[in-house]
Structures are given as C-alpha cells and as structure tokens.
Amino acid sequence: MDQLHRDISSARRSAKEGAYSHSILLYTSTLGQMNKMMTEGAIESGRSEWIQARSKLSNEMAMVKKLEKEVNELKIGEDGGEIAPSDPDVWPPPPPRKTTQGVKRGGGVKGGMGRSREEEKRGERRTDKSLLRKSNSQNGIDRRDRDQPQLRKGESSEAKEGGGKNSEEEEKRREQLARYDRELVETIERDILQTNLDVRWSSIAGLDDAKKLLKEAVILPTVLPQFFKGIRRPWKGVCMVGPPGTGKTLLAKAVATECKTTFFSVSSSTLTSKYRGDSEKLVRLLFEMARLYAPSTIFIDEIDSLGGRRGSEGEHEASRRVKSQLLVEMDGCSVDADKPVLVLAATNFPWELDEALRRRLEKRIYIPLPDLTARESLLKIALDEVDLAEDVNLAEMAALLEGFSGADMTNVCREASMMGLRRLTDALDAVQIAALANQKVDLPVTRDDLLSAIRRTSPSVSQKDVDKYGMWMKEFGAV
C-alpha cells in the first residue's frame, strides 16, 4: 500500500513538472498493480472505494496523455509551421516553394515583378537543372553536400590537406564525380571500397598457377607499363571457377593486399536499387571511380547472380538493363592504358554465365580442390596458432583429407582444436570452468583429436560436381 501511495504521488508530481512520459509510466504501473490486487482478492473491504480510486487515476492518466499530445503538436507546429488537418484520404498540400530572387550587378536584390524575361528564363532553367540533378534516392539531401563527394576510405588527413600533385588529382576526381548523385557515390565508397584486408600470398596454400596469373595480370602492368601496350595490353577480366570453399575469395583479398591497387568488392545486392535507373548508374559509377583511382581491381563475387544468361525464363527488364550496362563498361574499361582496371570475378556456377560476359572475362581459370601438397600446407597454416602433440603427422592427416575443400579442412582443424577443452570441461560447472587457468585450458591437439574431427566432418563437394567443373573448363577454359 505504501508503494502505491508513493507511485501515485510521484506520478502527480511528474505531471506538474511537465515530465508527462514518466508520469504516464507511473500511472500505468500503479493501475496494473491495483488491477492485480483486486483480481487476486487481496482487497477484502472497501472494494467500491478502490473502484472509484482506480477510475479517478484512469481519468488523471487520460488528462496527462492529452497534455502530452498537445505539447507534441505544439512542437511540431513550431518546426514545420501551421499544422494542417490530418486526413488519410486526402493528400497533404505541397511544401511552400521558395521565391527565386534575382541579384543586380550592383548588389541589390530585385523582386519577382522587376525581373526581365531573360532573367526569369535563366532562373527557371537553373531551377530545372537542380530538379533534374535530384533523383528519387536524393530527396532530403542538401545540394551542397551532394556536390562534394567524400574522399576514399583509409585516406589519411595528410592526403586530404596536402598540396601539389595529390591535391590536384583529388580535385580532378571530385570534379569528375560531382555530376553523380552524392548518395550513389557514398554507396560505392561505403559498401564497395575495401582496405586493410591483410591477406598475403603466403596465407593461401597451393594454387600456384592462379597466383602466377593474377600477379601477371595485376602487378606487372603497373611495374612495366611501357611493355603492356597494343597486343600486350593487360587482361580486362579474369574469372575464377571452382567448387565452393577452394579459396577464390581469399585470392581476391590477396590481390587487394599484395598488389597495392584500389580494390572494389561487389556483389549483386550492392548494385541493386529500388529506384528505376539507379542500378545502371551504380554500375557506371563503379567503373568511373575505378578509372579515377586506377590502377584498380573490381572483384565481383558470385558473378552468376549478376551476369546470368540473358533471355532466360523469368528474367526481369531491370536485371537485363544492369547486365547490358555491365557489358558496356567492361568492354571500355581498358581504353586508357595508363589507368588499368581489372575485373576479377568468382563463381561456383560458370555454366550460368551469359555468353557475352564470358567472352569479356578473357582468362577463365579453374580453382580446384587442394592436392596432397596443398592440403599439408593448409594444415600447417590452420594449426599454426595451436600446440600439436608429438604423435601428430600432418602428412598422414593430409592423405586422409582427399576430396575436402579448403573450407572443409579449416572446419576439421577448428573441430580438432576444441576436443581438448571439451574433455576438460565435461564434468565441470560454470564456476569451476571460470576458475581454470589459461595454461590448463590450452591443451595440445593430438592425433586422435584430428582423426575424430575427420570422422565427424564430411566433404561438401561431391565427385559429380568436380567432374562437371572439369567438363566446363575443357569446353570454355582459358588458362
């Protein structure tokens, strides 16, 4: 009872002080407690007085809610002007239009009545251009903010403030990107531009042929630009084909880290917009930015979802327009030899690719399942951070993992590294586990742990799928 009195007093005091939300919360809590007490039969006498008190508190809460609503409407009125009546069946009136005023050469301001016909036409033309610049996806964005695109991610403050050649190049880039909507430019910079991936060639086991080709396609043209001209021009596109989990994305990350190029990582969702025409603009802007920040690498993961075969059943018109724009940009992305742009693609379904897109991806290489040597190297890399028991023979384990992809082998190593902790904590509760010292928890991985993990894990790629990739590479491969 004392708690109810305190809550009621606090609710009324908060209402007097203008804290309506807090007051309503206290009223709601008090009424809930009263209803619970009356329902459970805790009130033996004076039930009618309790009902009257509950009705009075309900009326007080309704008044507080009404006051809060009026205050909120006043705040909206101060921000947005006169409050119009709300009717869901009637469209709201258009926002007030600002009157454009002409400025005299001497600095005076002329009213709308004093403007000449030529000045009025110039003002209308200027207004029409500003309206054309503002796409559906740009409503509510300040024009000054749209006209100045941001710098790249990972760029230091010295590069922003420094003068000389870098500042001139950055100014040219801004001028080139100023004709695009600022929101689209920010989408490219925020979702696509990737830096500091920290994946080295040494982090990838095997795949020596793929590494050699990527070094030839990305590194050599930047080191020997005078050589890669004419018929020796750099490759425009490289497509990595293979089962899932074989390291295609890791190779792309290694290209971004080792080759010191601007790296754009693209998926179908990045280049998709609900506004008509914005998807094509994003594709065009992507390649425009890649040329401005050249040498660049555009990595398109799961390219089959973006560049599937045209004319297939159920294909949407918007998807076809995006594919057409992508094909146009890829054909013209290597016109300037001084600004090389490489399109690096990866797919698990190469037979779904459009014929024209397949032609533009000049190099089509197969990323196979790891062989015996690569599997042993991968085990060394995956188990580098854990202690191994003396009875562990990685060559023996690699022989048992035939048919496993790189991702499957990583899962096996992760499973084996958890075996010691599971044995240690099986009979312990949470308090005892927290009291364990770190040196007791980090137990070495034994041979039995690896064998048990291999028995528990099955390969994710079947031999039938491997044969299918081999047939496609025999027909369309270009290594």
Binding site per annotation, positions for ATP: 242-249
Q: Return the beta strands (E) in 283-439 as ranges.
A: 296-301, 341-347, 363-366
Q: Are 306 and 272 in contact (CB under 8 A)?
A: no
C-alpha 181: how far from chain center: 19
Q: Considering only CA atoms, which of 275, 272, 256 is closest in space to residue 264?
A: 256
Q: Are 422 and 446 in contact (CB under 8 A)?
A: no
Tokens found for residue 340: 């090389």
Secondary structure, 3-state, 304-318: HHCCECCCCCCCCHH
Beta bridge partners of 238: 344, 363
CA-to-CA dists, residue 102 to 95, 126, 189, angstroms: 22, 12, 38
Q: Which residues sit in the known binding site?
A: 242-249
Q: Which residues of 457-477 are buried (b: 16+ CB within 10 A; e: fewer)?
A: bebebeeeeeeebeebbeebb
- For the sheet with 296-301, list strands across it: 193-194, 262-266, 296-301, 341-347, 237-241, 363-366
- What is the rounded distance in angstroms from the CA atom of residue 417 to the CA atom of residue 419? 6
Secondary structure, 3-state, 409-466: HHHHHHHHHCHHHHHHHCCCCHHHHHCCCHHHHCCCECHHHHHHHHHHCCCCCCHHHH
- What is the rounded distance in angstroms from the CA atom of residue 131 to the CA atom of residue 367? 49
Q: Which helix (H) or strand (E) holds 241?
A: strand 237-241
Beta bridge partners of 240: 346, 365
CA-to-CA dists, residue 32 to 9, 50, 66, angstroms: 16, 13, 20
CA-to-CA dists, residue 44 to 38, 47, 159, 287, angstroms: 9, 7, 79, 79
